[in-house]
Amino acid sequence: MTKRFFGTDGIRGRVGETPITPEFVMHLGYSAGKVFASTDRYLSKDERPAVLIGKDTRISGYMLESALQAGLSAAGVDVLLTGPMPTPGVAYLTCALRLQAGIVISASHNPFEDNGIKFFSASGNKLSDIIENNIEAGLNAPLISMPSAKLGRARRVNDASGRYIEFCKSTFPYHLDLRGMRVVVDCAHGATYHIAGHVLHELGADVVIIGAQPDGLNINQEYGATHSTTIQKAVIQHKADIGIALDGDGDRMIMSDKKGVLYDGDQLLYIIAKHRQQKNLLKGGVVGTLMTNLAIENRFNKLGIPFARANVGDRHVLELLQKKGWELGGEGSGHIICIDKHTTGDGIISALQVLHAMKDSGKSLAELSRGVTLYPQQLINVKVRKGFDFHAIASIKSAQTKAKRDLGDRGRLLLRASGTEPLVRVMVEGESKQKVKYWVEYISNALRKAENL
């Protein structure tokens, strides 16, 4: 069954346009509530299912939270509200509170005009395709409210942020602390603004917080993981040892060393994997994606660390990790998944794994990543009309063939449709920066020309 609304990471779009409207989201909450109630075999006959709702700091979160709450209540589902909470925090609390599901209102790294709905199962994982299809099927049914006596109730979760802070701290070794380390944390004016700094401070770090004044309109604006120059400048300005830049919903991060040199998700994944291998803590191998830099794969091969590529998206990384029985995977964008620490990607917890490697070894990021020189890689997003199928166009196939022939085994080419936006992403990497630049522009232009025919 082809999904109409669910993409690679829930449902996302521009606020006020279908599907991110209060009417649609209320019906979505109703349909999801019906599905969650019918699929939980542990509920007693008279027990109502319960769902957790968290959100990032977008102003539209208030509206969508109320719409979701109304739909869930009409379906006879109790609602627990956390207020602003990182996406991985919702996943954790859903498990910790033994709830039927968790819902996050967020569009991650997108601007404030966008928003989205993400779901977690009772186990803290993304929903299966079957469950997502069942929810979509329910959108075609009328919204018929339960009788008043069976409506769901709503309440706030006491100290949701405090519980999640303690959970994050528990993933850092008890015999280590961060004393003597000055850390700048960029919260992107997002969901970690009241959490990330406390985690690091309580572990002993001298913390400088930036991007922690959300006003509903400034999430991801000139701050966070998608605006890397901000953390680079802040680390140098505050004479810090390290910088951590999170995205709006806190499930990804990048880092900067004291010189302002950036380290992306590929490099940080390498640092964590190598440290675990040295400590005999690496279970199996590492999962990357089709976008993972070829230099990382080559380095893992030299270290004898098995490596596998999944489709782009943390959901696909997690699925392949579970299939192989491995524990560590991630993406260059900064999504890093440590299954032994959490059920989903978590920017704060991932940063703590890197800090663990630094404190345990006494080495800097530069020293820990020595031996890895990333291949030049360039990505261009080409806007296309909805439903545009580039696979069937001869001119694009020809452009790809030419590029692959020229790059040979010293580079890679990848074209893929975005799962959240009407875009085709063109990625080229290789040893030659000139060839990378030429072919990414060549293929992007071929796409634009074909799209306009």
Q: Indicate if 52 and 148 belong to the same structural domain.
A: yes
pLDDT given at position 126:
92
Position 6 in a domain: no
Give the pLDDT confidence of 1-37 residue by residue, as tens digits.
678 999 888 999 999 999 999 999 999 999 999 999 8
Question: How far is CA 316 from its chain centroid?
Answer: 12
353 plus 384 within the same structural domain: no
Average pLDDT over residues 67-93: 98
Structural domains counted in the chain? 3
- Tell me if 93 sits within 8 A of 163, measured CB to CB: yes
- In which band, very low, low, confident or very high, does the pLDDT at 42 lie, cut at 50, 70 and 90? low
Q: Rounded distance, CA 164 to CA 385, Å?
A: 41
- Return the CATH number at 106: 3.40.120.10
Is 340 found in the same domain as 402?
A: no
Mean pLDDT of the chain: 95
Is the pLDDT assigned to residue 73 strictly greater than 80? Answer: yes
* Residues 342 and 402 reside in one and the same domain: no
Average pLDDT over residues 375-393: 90
**Co-location of 46 and 188 in the same domain:** no
User: Tell me, what's the pLDDT at 306?
Assistant: 98
Q: What is the pLDDT of residues 193-235, one digit of tens each?
A: 999 999 999 999 999 999 999 999 999 999 999 999 999 999 9
Contact 235, 256 (CB under 8 A): yes
Which one of 60, 73, 106, 108 is the catalytic residue?
Answer: 108
213 and 112 together in one domain: no
Q: Is the pLDDT of residue 420 over 80?
A: no
Identify the pLDDT of residue 47.
82
Look at strands 182-186 and 206-210 and give their pairing: parallel
pLDDT higher than 90, residue 41: no
Predicted local distance difference test score (pLDDT) of residue 312: 86
- Tell whether the model's pLDDT for residue 313 goes beyond 90: no
**Which pLDDT does position 451 carry in this prediction?**
83
How far, in Å, CA of 96 to CA of 102, rounded? 11
Q: Two tokens at 191? A: 């969901």
Residues 331 and 313 in one domain: yes
Rounded-to-integer distance, Cα 420 and Cα 311, Å? 14
Q: What is the pLDDT of residues 236-273, one digit of tens each?
A: 999 999 999 999 999 999 999 999 999 999 999 999 99
Question: Is 121 one of the catalytic residues?
Answer: no
391 — alpha (psi -120 to 50), left (phi > 0) or beta? alpha
Same domain, 306 and 333: yes
Position 387 scores a pLDDT of 79
Residue 46: band (very low, low, confident or very high) from pLDDT cuts 50, 70, 90: confident
pTM recorded for the entire structure: 0.92
Q: For residue 388, count CB atoms less than 10 angstroms from its CB and return exposed for 0-12, middle for 13-18, buried for 19 or more.
A: middle
Under 8 Å between Cβ of 210 and 174: no
Same domain, 333 and 426: no
Domain CATH number, residue 397: 3.30.310.50
CB 40 within 8 A of CB 148: no
Look at residues 225, 168, 215, 220 and name the one whose alpha carbon lies nearest to residue 195: 168
Residue with tokens 């015999």: 175
Specify whether 24 is located in the same domain as 131: yes
Which pLDDT score, from 0 to 100, does residue 393 have?
Answer: 92
Q: For 108-161, what is each residue's pLDDT tens digit?
A: 999 999 999 999 999 999 999 999 999 999 999 999 999 999 999 999 999 999
My answer on whether 181 and 233 are in the same domain is: yes
Q: Give the residues across from 104 on adjacent strands.
A: 54, 118
pLDDT of residue 453 exceeding 60: no
Residue 4 lies in a domain: no
Closest CA to 269 of 223, 332, 315, 313: 332
Domain edge (last residue) among 158, 181, 205: 158
Examine the pLDDT at 417 and tell me if it is beyond 80.
Answer: yes
pLDDT recorded at residue 410: 85
| Separation CA 376–CA 434 (nearest Å) | 9
Sheet of strand 411-417, all strands in order from the earlier edge strand to the far edge: 377-383, 423-430, 411-417
Structural domain harbouring 386: 377-451
Q: Last residue of a domain, which of 105, 128, 158?
A: 158
Q: Which of 103, 125, 158 is the last residue of a domain?
A: 158
| 62 and 111 co-located in one domain | yes
pLDDT of residue 447: 94
Instruction: Look at residue 173 and tell me if it is in a domain.
Output: yes
